[in-house]
Structure 1
């Protein structure tokens, strides 16, 4: 006899991005796809949608800003698939999200920290 609890699939944890970050995410239990093309990343989101899977996905900024139609659709839908981005290890912190974009549009470029000394949120 199968109970409702037994048929629920666990939330997948995925990282898609640069190899230097993928190693760390793999160590803490994430499925990883290192250095994927935007097309390969988009295929992951297409599969998540088609299979109606729940997932927590971390992308590097390069992929978050790439033209990936299925990523855009998943982000618009919300709910089942949560997507966040992380900056590259070698670059200053730049926030790449809809919230950061809206803050910049409302309050100007200084509203979102860019990791550079002398700017809002940066060291002075």
Structure 2
């Protein structure tokens, strides 16, 4: 187990390239199986990590993804908008906010 937290990014090659420039550990063109393998390895390593998943991967249904999101703690998993369609992106948390606060909760008030 190291003292420094790891920054890990899984997603399309174009998006991964940018993260590699800032020193992130990248897994370009990853699929849900790769996400599961990386998350299992992180858990086994004991390292703290911030894991950034492109939206289509963040919404996959893997066992490790579900487990680490429910556990919280030293491995934080978050979602990134897709590189090709950032304007059409809506994070999963929007659904939770609307379910709790109602459909008007996320509308802009001008």
Structure 1-normalised TM-score? 0.77
- 1:56 corresponds to which residue? 50
In the TM superposition, what are the counterparts of 1:90-101 in structure 2 within 5 Å? 90-91=84-85, 92-97=88-93, 100-101=94-95
* Structure 1 unaligned spans of 5+: 1-6, 113-119
Superposition RMSD in Å = 1.8
4+ residue stretches of structure 1 with deviation over 4 A? none
What is the aligned residue count? 106
Q: What is the deviation of 1:8? A: 4.3
8 Å CA contact retained: 1:56, 1:83: yes
Structure 2-normalised TM-score? 0.86
d(CA) in 2 for partners of 1:47 and 1:8?
14
Match of 1:45 among 36, 39, 47: 39
Higher RCO, 1 or 2 (CA under 8 Å, sep at least 6)? 2
In the TM superposition, what are the counterparts of 1:1-124 in structure 2 within 5 Å? 8-91=2-85, 92-97=88-93, 100-106=94-100, 107-108=102-103, 110-112=104-106, 120-121=107-108
